[in-house]
């Protein structure tokens, strides 16, 4: 911390002294941002190559989203769901049409939306599939990341996420990711849902084989199991299509969105499905005070408009392919693999080169902000508004660090 300015050191010390140590941030304080750029309190400029774990696909303080939020702030911010508001209906219509679904249920964070999908699958299992009371099973994948609630960490295969937090909710089974036979074998008459990320991002950008999601679709249809697709990190144009399942041409029964749904300005998440699934929820079965608040819905409408009108899926596909080509062309002695889709890219560091964190620290020193995931992988996930020139700027620095 010696190299830090007095101002930066003061902010970090305050945060470390009064804030729980449940994160290990890089030693930088961000006090201003615009587009792909962020600034520290001394005015130093950095490129954001993380986008708050893909929550800022539209770029920091996107003007369209800012304008929508400012305008809404002069009207009404919170109504609760005890009353209707004039933003939630238009937001629902826009998002369910985009997903190819019929109905949505809004929450705030990703983990809450995952919990909602789990409750939905269980209730559907009891009410529609005819599973005996208390017997519903949900299948998940090893190396999953779906959030941090007690139920969700209960089916994590990462020991640290579980350690000290039991006892856990029963009714979950783990199978290997990208293994259709394992899915076939794990399904029983009590299976109500299969919860999966289309790309395992937190686990180190682990890609499924081509055809995996199509296989999932087929098996779930044959066995009357809901395919629940967690698109919280991969969705909303990040991978070069609006949703990552579209790369495989197979649509899920239940989709979970979060992060970039609020344009990086308001937290908003949701679960979307067909009516024949969602209609198991009756008034009082589930809810959230802030879920569907007019401020978040106004942000959501604008955030989706920016993705659609700005053709950010196409931009992510084009810029992602360019970025990945540049990374592969490095032929770095430290790099074992470069993988990803669109602008969700993982660079895996060779075991003999040590962990990914020192490389992230060195990149930060040069002005490129990214974060290691699962010790050996550097994740590059810039805002989807990034230009070729900005990628070139970053590549100059990446080259200095990795070569
Ligand atoms: C795939 C996936 N699901 C769920 C979550 C949890 O979202 P939140 O942190 O908003 O609760 C995340 C967050 O990183 C995620 O990447």
Instruction: Please write the tens of the pLDDT for every residue from 284-305.
Output: 999 999 999 999 999 999 999 9
Is the distance from the beta carbon of residue 231 to the nearest atom of ligand 1 less than 6 Å? no
Å from CA of 144 to ligand 1 middle: 10
**What is the average per-residue pLDDT within 268-275?**
98
The CATH number for 274's domain is 3.40.640.10
If one residue of 106, 205, 259, 266 were mutated to test the ligand 1 pocket, choosing by the most ligand atoms within 8 A of its CB, it would be: 259
Does one domain contain both 28 and 75?
no
Residue at which a domain ends, from 309, 327, 345: 309
pLDDT value of residue 2: 46
CATH number at residue 378: 3.90.1150.10
Q: Specify if 271 maps to a domain.
A: yes
Q: Determine the distance separating the centroid of ligand 1 and the alpha carbon of 31, expressed in angstroms.
A: 24
Question: Domain for residue 372, yes or no?
Answer: yes
Mean pLDDT over 298-314 rounds to 98
CA distance 391 to 393: 5
Q: How far apart are CA 269 and CA 123, in angstroms?
A: 20
- In degrees and rounded to multiples of 5, residue 215 shows phi and psi of -65, -40
Nearest 5 degrees, angle CA 76-CA 78-CA 79? 100
Residue 141 lies in a domain: yes
- Residue 297 CA, chain-centre distance (Å), reads 18
Q: pLDDT band at residue 265, thresholds of 50, 70 and 90?
A: very high
Q: What is the Å distance from ligand 1's center to 330 Cα?
A: 31
Are 93 and 165 in the same domain? yes
Given this model, what pLDDT does residue 23 score? 95
Candidate list 94, 123, 241, 259, residue with the active-site label: 259
Atom of ligand 1 nearest to the CA of 111: 11
Rounded Cα–Cα distance for residues 248 and 196 (Å): 14
Domain that holds residue 78: 63-309
**Any bridge partners for residue 372, and if so which?**
378
Q: What are residue 32's phi and psi, to 5 degrees?
A: -160, 150
Residues 36 and 67 in one domain: no
Residues 116 and 95 in one domain: yes
Distance, CA of 25 to CA of 29 (rounded, Å): 9
- What is the mean pLDDT of the segment spanning 219-245? 98
Same domain, 89 and 136: yes
pLDDT exceeds cutoff 70 at 308: yes
* Residue nearest atom 8 of ligand 1, based on CA coordinates: 110
Residue tagged active-site, from 230, 241, 248, 371:
230
Q: Is 94 annotated in the active site? A: no
Q: What is the pLDDT of residue 3?
A: 79
Q: Whose CA is nearest to atom 3 of ligand 1?
A: 146
Domain's final residue, options 252, 283, 309 = 309
Question: Ligand 1 mean position to 58 CA, how many Å?
Answer: 18
Out of 91, 94, 123, 145, pick the active-site residue.
Answer: 145
**Domains of the chain: total:** 2
Residues 133-146 have pLDDT tens digits of 999 999 999 999 99
397 and 326 in a single domain? The answer is yes
Distance separating alpha carbons of residues 378 and 392, to the nearest angstrom: 18
| Ligand 1 pocket member 153 (CB < 6 A) | no
Note if 230 is an active site residue: yes
Distance 267 CA to ligand 1 centre (A): 12
211 domain-assigned:
yes
The answer to the question of residue 210 being in a domain is: yes
Q: Kindly state whether residues 101 and 175 are assigned to the same domain.
A: yes
In a domain, 20, yes or no: yes
CA 210/CA 13 separation, integer angstroms: 47
Per-residue pLDDT at 1 exceeds 60 = no
Looking at the structure, do residues 169 and 299 belong to the same domain, yes or no? yes
Residue 292 CB less than 6 A away from ligand 1: no
Are residues 55 and 75 both part of a single domain? Answer: no
Residue 396 lies in a domain: yes
Average per-residue pLDDT for the chain: 97
Last residue of a domain, one of 284, 309, 334: 309
* Dist. CA 363 → ligand 1 center (Å): 25
Question: What is the number of residues in the chain?
Answer: 403
Q: Does ligand 1 come within 6 angstroms of the Cβ of 110?
A: yes
Active-site residue flag, 145: yes
Distance spanning both ends of the chain, measured CA to CA: 25
* pLDDT over 90 at 374, yes or no: no
Q: Is the pLDDT of residue 80 over 80?
A: yes
42-to-11, 29, 36, 214 alpha-carbon distances in Å: 12, 10, 18, 50
Question: Residue 205: CB within 6 Å of ligand 1?
Answer: no
- In this prediction, residues 207-226 reach a mean pLDDT of 98
The fraction of the chain above a pLDDT of 90, given in percent, is 99
Return the ∠ at Cα 194 (arms to 189 and 197), rounded to 5°: 170
Both 257 and 398 in a single domain?
A: no
- Tell whether 249 and 148 lie within a shared domain: yes
Question: Is 1 inside any structural domain?
Answer: no
The residue whose CA is least distant from atom 2 of ligand 1 is 146
Q: Which ligand 1 atom is at minimum distance from the Cα of 112? A: 11
166-190 exposure pattern, b = at least 16 Cβ within 10 A, e = fewer? eeeeebbebbebbbbebbeebbeee
Mean predicted confidence (pLDDT) in 199-226: 98
Our answer on whether the CB atom of 240 is closer than 6 Å to any ligand 1 atom is no
Residues 157 and 112 in one domain: yes
Instruction: State the closest ligand 1 atom to the C-alpha of 231, by its place in the atom list counted from 1.
Output: 1
Best mutation site among 233, 255, 262 for ligand 1, i.e. most ligand atoms within 8 A of its Cβ? Answer: 233
CA of 349 to the centre of ligand 1 (A): 24
């Amino acid at each position: 911390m010696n190299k830090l300015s007095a101002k930066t050191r003061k902010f970090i010390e305050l945060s470390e002294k009064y804030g729980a140590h449940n994160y290990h941030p890089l030693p930088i304080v961000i006090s201003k941002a615009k587009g792909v750029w962020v600034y520290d309190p001394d005015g130093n400029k950095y490129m954001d190559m993380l986008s708050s774990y893909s929550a800022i696909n539209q770029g920091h303080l996107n003007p369209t989203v800012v304008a929508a939020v400012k305008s809404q702030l002069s009207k009404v911010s919170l109504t609760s769901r005890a009353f209707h508001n004039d933003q939630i209906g238009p937001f629902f219509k826009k998002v369910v049409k985009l997903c190819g679904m019929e109905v949505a249920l809004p929450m705030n964070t990703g983990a809450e939306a995952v919990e909602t999908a789990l409750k939905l699958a269980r209730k559907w299992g009891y009410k529609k599939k005819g599973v005996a009371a208390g017997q519903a099973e949900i299948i998940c994948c090893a190396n999953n990341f779906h959030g941090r609630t007690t139920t969700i960490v209960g089916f994590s295969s990462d020991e640290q996420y579980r350690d000290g937090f039991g006892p856990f909710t029963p009714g979950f089974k783990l199978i290997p990711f990208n293994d259709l036979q394992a899915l076939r074998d794990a399904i029983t008459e009590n299976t109500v849902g299969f919860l999966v990320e289309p790309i395992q991002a937190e686990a180190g950008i682990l890609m499924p084989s081509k055809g995996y999601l199509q296989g999932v679709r087929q098996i779930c249809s044959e066995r009357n199991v809901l395919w629940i697709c967690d698109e919280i990190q991969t969705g909303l144009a990040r991978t070069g299509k609006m949703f990552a399942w579209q790369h495989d041409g197979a649509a899920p029964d239940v989709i979970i969105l979060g992060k970039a749904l609020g344009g990086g300005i308001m937290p908003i998440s949701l679960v979307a499905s067909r009516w024949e699934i969602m209609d198991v929820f009756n008034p009082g079965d589930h809810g959230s005070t802030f879920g569907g608040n007019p401020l978040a819905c106004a942000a959501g409408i604008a955030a989706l408009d920016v993705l659609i009108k700005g053709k950010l899926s196409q931009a992510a596909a084009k810029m992602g392919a360019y970025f990945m080509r540049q990374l592969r062309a490095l032929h770095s002695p430290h790099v074992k693999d470069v993988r990803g889709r669109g602008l969700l890219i993982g660079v895996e560091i060779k075991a003999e080169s040590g962990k990914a964190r020192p490389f992230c620290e060195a990149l930060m020193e040069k002005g490129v902000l990214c974060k290691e995931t699962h010790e050996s992988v550097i994740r590059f996930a810039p805002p989807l508004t990034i230009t070729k020139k900005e990628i070139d700027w970053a590549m100059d620095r990446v080259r200095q660090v990795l070569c």
